[in-house]
Homo-oligomer: A and B are copies of this chain.
Amino acid sequence: MTERLPSWRAGATRDAIIDYLDGLGEVPVDDRVAYFDNDGTLWCERPGYVQLDFFVDELQRRSADDPSIAERPEFDAVLRADPVAMGEVGMERIAVALAGLFDGETPDAFAAVVDDFIARYRHPELERPVDGLVYQPMLELLEELRSLEFTIGIVTGGGTEFVRRLSQQLYGVPPELVVGTLIGYEFARADDERPVLRRTVALMGHANEGAAKVTNIQTQLGRAPIVAGGNSGGDREMMEWATAGRHPGLAILVDHDDAEREYRYVGRAQTFEESETINDVAERLGWVTVSMARDWATVFPDA
């Protein structure tokens, strides 16, 4: 018999997950739904988000052609990777400016730029390509869930279209099961009258964090999860939602405490609404907290 969750060390965390999965007997397949955050939950988000590296890469390419681009304060702060300057400009203004880089592009054109970046990308410190940045134990958990006929989705604060270019390849999750922060589109017609979609700079709704993850799950996916995984305050409401339904739920918090193999996060952010860290929330609500250092025998897949 193949060992289940082989990259998870034996112990209370692994036992809690396997006990939960083994107890699903009466939950109908239609209700077997699991959603996971992406950055810091399914793959590495430090020292910076991969999507931010994508924008920096695009800015570098464009400013090589047109140096005046780097004069814009939003882009200057990002290109210099200067957290103080980024804080002064404001992340929201920066996000809008970055999204504006692709204003008017078609979905296919944007996808081609992402694909080109992904093919070239290596993590600045781990020197791994994108498929080497996913967490091997989480891939095994997805596999376990699939063997139990779960529908698996990704509910991310990142850009929906960026993550959709990776979700099938990295996690076996099709585009319609990716819910992130969404840019709007405009329907237009080409000179020959054929329909064309073009990206706008307008955000649809709010950034997909916190309570927005729950409302966006309902509107875009239509089913509540019974399993949810996250790693930050932005995942709190989604994880609570997974344990608030009529079936027993499982909320899994990934705790980054492994300075040797990945990153040890210090000064953990408070959740948005309360002066309580997400780890404190997890303990109070009886979630399963995964210590990367203690619970994972392997962090990343073999090269």
The residues of A with any CB-CB pair to B shorter than 8 Å are: 30, 107-108, 151, 153, 160-161, 164, 168, 174-178, 182, 184-187, 194-197, 204-205, 211-212, 214-215, 218-224, 237, 240-241, 244, 246
Partner of A176, one of B164, B187, B204, B220: B220
B223 near A185 with CB under 8 A, answer no
B184 near A215 with CB under 8 A, answer yes
Residue among A153, A176, A178 with max Cβ neighbours from chain B (10 Å): A176
B221 near A175 with CB under 8 A, answer yes
B107 near A218 with CB under 8 A, answer yes
> In the complex the two chains form, what is the Cα distance from A195 to B225 in whole Å?
13
B224 near A107 with CB under 8 A, answer yes
**Contact A244/B176 with A168-B30, A222-B161 known, Cβ cut-off 8 Å:** no
**Contact A218/B185 with A195-B241, A240-B195, A244-B194 known, Cβ cut-off 8 Å:** yes
> In the complex the two chains form, what is the Cα distance from A224 to B195 in whole Å?
12
Contacts of A182 in B (CB 8 A): 219
B168 near A153 with CB under 8 A, answer no
B218 near A197 with CB under 8 A, answer yes
B107 near A195 with CB under 8 A, answer no
B219 near A160 with CB under 8 A, answer yes
In the A-B complex, the 7 residue pairs with the smallest Cβ-Cβ separation, listed nearest first, are A175-B222, A187-B211, A176-B221, A185-B215, A194-B244, A164-B222, A195-B240
A223 near B187 with CB under 8 A, answer no
Contacts of A224 in B (CB 8 A): 107
Contacts of A184 in B (CB 8 A): 215, 219
B215 near A197 with CB under 8 A, answer yes
CB closest residue in chain B, given A205: B204
CB closest residue in chain B, given A216: B185
CB distance from A183 to the nearest CB of B (A): 8
**Contact A237/B160 with A195-B244, A219-B182 known, Cβ cut-off 8 Å:** no
CB distance from A219 to the nearest CB of B (A): 5
